[in-house]
Amino acid sequence: LVLPGPMDIEEPFFIEPQEGNGYPLDAEQYQQIDAVYNNENYYVNLQVLRELEEEEWSETDMFERELQKEKEKAEVEKGREEKEKEELEKRERKKAEKAEKKRKEQEEQEKKEKSTADVSDKEKKDKEKEERKKEKKEKKKKEKEEAEQRAKEAKEEEEKDKEKNVWETAEEEEERTIIWQNLSHLRYDLSDITCWEH
C-alpha cells in the first residue's frame, strides 16, 4: 500500500505504532516493517519498538535485567581474571622453562669443563710420568756410561801397572845381574887377597 509522503512524494506506507491502531506491540506487522510513518517524518521501527518495550517493562523485569547485567559483568570479569591467571601461569611456565634450560646448559658446561680438566690432568700426569721415565732412563744410561768409563780407566791403569811391573822387573833383573857380576869380581878379589895373605 503506498500513500503520499512529505512534499507529495510517494513513499512506502508504514504502519504507525500508536495507540488506537489495533495492533499489539509484539504483532507480526511490527516485526516485519523497517520504519514507521507519521505526519512529520520516517522513524526506524526497531528503535520505536525498543522505546515502547522499555516503557512496558515492570520493576521486576528491570531488576532481573540488572541482575543479568551484573551476571554478565561478573562473567566478563571472571573471564578476564582467568585470562590474566592463564597469562601469568604461561609467563611463569616460560620463566621456569628458561631457568631449567639455563640450569641444564650450566650443568653441561660444568660437565664439559670437568671432562676437559680431567683430560688435561690425565695428560699432565702422563707427561710427568713420561718425563720421570725419561729421566730415569737417562740417569741409568749415564750411570752405565760412568761405570764403563771407570772400568775402562781401571783397565788402562791396570795395563799401566802391568807395564810398569814388567819394566821394574826387567830393571831389577838388570840390577841383580850387575850386582852378581860385581860380587863375582869381589870374590875374585877376595881370592886374590887370600892368596896374597898366603
How does pLDDT run across 20-79, given as a tens digit for each residue? 455 565 665 554 444 444 444 444 444 555 565 666 665 567 777 788 888 988 888 888
Q: Please give the Cα distance from 38 to 50 (Å, whole number).
A: 18
In a domain, 7, yes or no: yes
Provide the domain count of the chain: 1
- For residue 64, the model assigns a pLDDT of 79
For residue 127, name the pLDDT band (cuts at 50, 70, 90).
Answer: confident
For residue 192, name the pLDDT band (cuts at 50, 70, 90).
Answer: low
In a domain, 39, yes or no: yes
In a domain, 95, yes or no: no
Instruction: Give me 1's grid cell.
Output: 500500500
In a domain, 119, yes or no: no
Q: Please give the Cα distance from 112 to 92 (Å, whole number).
A: 30
Domain encompassing residue 9: 1-56
- For residue 10, the model assigns a pLDDT of 45
- For residue 20, the model assigns a pLDDT of 46
DSSP 40: S
In a domain, 137, yes or no: no
Long-range contacts of 86-92 (CB under 8 A, 24+ apart): none
Averaged pLDDT of the chain:
71
In a domain, 38, yes or no: yes
Residue 158 or 56, more confident:
158
Determine how β-strand 10-12 pairs with β-strand 35-37.
unpaired
- CB 45 within 8 Å of CB 33: yes
When pLDDT is averaged across residues 2-19 and rounded to a whole number, the result is 45
- For residue 89, the model assigns a pLDDT of 92
In a domain, 30, yes or no: yes
> Which of 93-102, 120-129, 183-192 is modeled with the greatest confidence?
93-102
Query: Does residue 2 have a pLDDT over 60?
Result: no
Query: Does residue 153 have a pLDDT over 70?
Result: yes
pLDDT > 90: what percent of the chain? 11
